[in-house]
Every structure is written in C-alpha cells, then in structure tokens.
Structure 1
Amino acid sequence: MRLLYIEDDQEIGGLVCRHLQERGYEVVWLTSGEKAAEEAERCDLVILDVMLPGLDGFTVGQRLKKRFPSTPILMLSARTSIDDKLLGLQFADDYLTKPFHPDELAARIEVLLRRFAVKAAEPLAVKHLLVYENENRIVNSETGDEITLTGKQFQIFGYLLRHQGQILTKEQIYEAVWKEPYLEGDKTLMVHIRYLREKLERDPAAPEVIETVRGIGYRVKA
C-alpha cells in the first residue's frame, strides 16, 4: 500500500514516515505540493498538511480531489478552528489536528482505506501463498495459516512481487526498502531474506518463492 505524504516540517515528516513504514506502508514524502499530482496517480491515499510552501494544503487538496476523486485525502493541520475544518472537509475525507498520536493517524488511514475499498479483493497467488499485498497479509493456502511478517520483511517481499519475474540486484532492493545507499559487503538484506524464507518457503533450504540468482540478486518467478 503506497501513501503520499506532503509535509514540509522535516522533524514531523521523518517521524511520521518511519512510523508508517514500520507498519508496512510504502511512503512517498514530498515537502511541497509541486509534484503532488504526479505522485498521487500511483498512491492509494494522500496525507496532506495545510501549511506548505508555495500552494497551501487546501489548494493542493482541492486540485488532487478534482483529478483523483476515488483517492482518499487526510488533512493534517495545527489549525483547530471550525472554519478551517469545514473548509478542509469540503474536499478532504478526514481532518486530523496537530499534535496527534501516530497510532491515531494509522487508525484513521485504515478507516479511509476500508471506506474507499482500496484493499484488493483477490489475492495474488505465488506457489502455495495467497498474498493480500494491500492488506499486508499472507496466507498459506495449504494450511490456511496466516504468515506474519515484520514491516521490513513485507516491504522486501512486496518490492520483489511488484517486479515479479525480474531479477533484482541487492543494491536495487536495499536502496528501495531502506532509502539509503547500499554498502558493498553489507549482510543486512541477506539476513532478512533468510528470515523471509523461513516464514514463506515450504523448505527454506530449497526455496521456490524467493529465488537466488547467483552473482546478481533475487527474484520471485512470475
């Protein structure tokens, strides 16, 4: 599930991004509304601060809602007056005032996603797995058991799934998930892949889902 988050405050933005990523969301963070329409086209929900450089959040939100009416918008603002809330709710689907608890933000996101029926009805079948990617949920079709992944594990597997059939290098995967340069010799990704296989594979020693392509990286076969 990909969220577009527009917030110019670096401290608040960093904290919120980390919290949402830990919950398994992919977050696209912008510090202004300049590229909002371009990014919103590929996102499932927009979290939008009112106070932004250049165009304010109300203007950005109105334009996004007009262009993407089926994409839910959650407004964030330190403004608590009823007039500001009413203005925001003319186009936004929810309005949360600052300061807020990250758990409340996450709960409101889930409510909006359910309301807009963004969650995929049909799972993706990968070998013996049923993957409900938009719900951060995986089920073993042979046993009916739900497989619990950590946020990072789901981000890695989700990235592989979105490029199913494509061989991805360690650098590509690491930089897409951790959002920082890969350092040669770093074993972090390899450790996560090992734990993923222990949870996902019938036999982790003979993986069928996440294939190692020697000398290059990994892939999930189409």
Structure 2
Amino acid sequence: MSNSLLYIEDDQEIGSFVYQHLQEQGYEVKWLRNGDGASEAAMGCKLAILDVMLPGLDGFTIGQRLKKAAPDIPILMLSARTSIDDKLQGLQFADDYLTKPFHPDELTARIEVLLRRSGARLSEPLAIKHLLVHEQQNRVENRDTGEEITLTGKQFHIFSYLLRHLGQIMTKEQIYEAVWGESFIEGDKTLMVHIRYLREKIERDPASPEIIETVRGIGYRVRA
C-alpha cells in the first residue's frame, strides 16, 4: 500500500506548494481545506499533517478528535505560532510540531521519522470470529468463504473504532463523536441504523449478533 497522507491546510498557496512537494516525494496526499470529514478521510492514511489556523474548527480540536478516532495515526502539526504554550498544547496529542516557515526537506524528514516510528504497529490483519480485518487496507474478509465484505466508509470507521477498543463497552456518544466528528444528540437513530446495516454484512446471523454486541442503555462492544 502506498504511503497515503492526510493534509489539512486552508491557505491555497502554501497548500499547493506542500501538496506538490509531497507528491514528488512519492506520497499519495488527501488535501482538505478544513476539518470537515477529517476522521473519515484519515481512514487508510499513515499520517496526518494539520495546520493550526483553519476556518471553523482549529487544528488542535481536529487533531484531538483524530487521535481519539485513529490513535495509531501519527499527527504532525504545522503552525506560524511559535510560542512555547502553543507548542505544548499541540504536543499534548500530536507526535510532532513544525513551525512556519519551514524548508520542505525538513517536513519530509520529519514525516519519514514519524512513519518509521509508527510503521511496524500497523500491518497484521486481525481475526475476529469468521472475519479477517485488514485495517490499513480498509478491507474485511469472510474467512469461511474467502470473499471480501464491502463496507461503506462510515461502516468501516464504526467497526474500526470498536476494534481499536476491543472488549471495551463504548458509549453511543463516544462512537458517534469519533466517527461523525460532532456531538451526539440523545434520541438520534443514525448510529443505530448504521450498526444494523453493518451487522447485516458482517454477522453470520444479524438477528443474533456475535461480533457487535449491544450493551443496553450504554452502547456497543466487540468481544475479544
């Protein structure tokens, strides 16, 4: 799989320059101008590069949400803010912090260090019941039949989030915020509907699920 990076930067000039440089270095780059859909876009990426000053949610908020949703993805913050307070705030959740202006070769070097540091944590497929989950390839396979199970982006993101917290009961609020990046509104049935369709694809018997367990009044879990 190619080295796919998520890059969030609203400045067209800086963004184009960095985007082109990273592509020349052999990276596949998903470039967003704001944080909308960041958690979903990060699926399958090996690293996220976030500018701090963005329209809407700032890079710190987006980065914290990304880290909750995808803890294995290293985050590199970019900012013109040079104060130690800003750096400390960023490094509470981010893996590195690079101040602007920077030389493109330094950006590349820092990306390579972060990828090397995190690289080995990612690759082995996870076996759950009759499923084989290849998280970095966004792929789920039925071990009984050898067939690939096609999930939507949201379905895969929900399943991945539960797998990263294997054995833990995750509340509806936690899952919804990690996947949609918004606050959960009590009574909203969106998550429940997505779980139902997800079970229809991955469970042997969706009416009697053995992979995604409902914990009444709380949320869901995947048993180890």
TM-score range, shorter chain: 0.5 to 0.7
Gap regions ≥5 residues in structure 1: 96-112
Say which of 22, 31, 37 aligns to 1:18.
Answer: 37
Gap regions ≥5 residues in structure 2: 12-31, 54-58
Say which of 70, 77, 81 aligns to 1:54.
Answer: 81
Q: How does 1:113-128 map to 2 (within 5 A)?
A: 120-128=122-130
Give the letter for the 1:124 counterpart.
Answer: L
Q: How does 1:117-156 map to 2 (within 5 A)?
A: 120-156=122-158
Does the alignment pair 1:89 with 2:105? Answer: yes
Q: How does 1:157-176 map to 2 (within 5 A)?
A: 157-176=159-178
1:164 deviates by 0.9
Moved over 4 A (4+): 2-6, 25-30, 32-36, 45-49, 116-119
Decide whether aligned partners of structure 1 residues 123 and 150 sit closer, same or farther in structure 2, where only a CA change above 3 A counts.
same
Identity %, equivalent residues: 54
Decide whether aligned partners of structure 1 residues 54 and 8 sit closer, same or farther in structure 2, where only a CA change above 3 A counts.
farther
Aligned length: 174
Deviations 1:112-157 (A, max 9, x none): x7xx956833211111111111221111111111112111111111
Deviations 1:75-99 (A, max 9, x none): 9x9x9xxxx8xx312450699xxxx
Decide whether aligned partners of structure 1 residues 20 and 184 sit closer, same or farther in structure 2, where only a CA change above 3 A counts.
closer
Give the match's secondary structure for 1:89: helix
> Which residue does the alignment assign to 1:212?
214
Decide whether aligned partners of structure 1 residues 8 and 118 sit closer, same or farther in structure 2, where only a CA change above 3 A counts.
farther
1:208 deviates by 0.6
Give the match's secondary structure for 2:191: helix
Give the letter for the 1:12 counterpart.
Answer: R
Give the letter for the 2:167 counterpart.
Answer: G
Does the alignment pair 1:44 with 2:73? Answer: yes
RMSD: 4.2
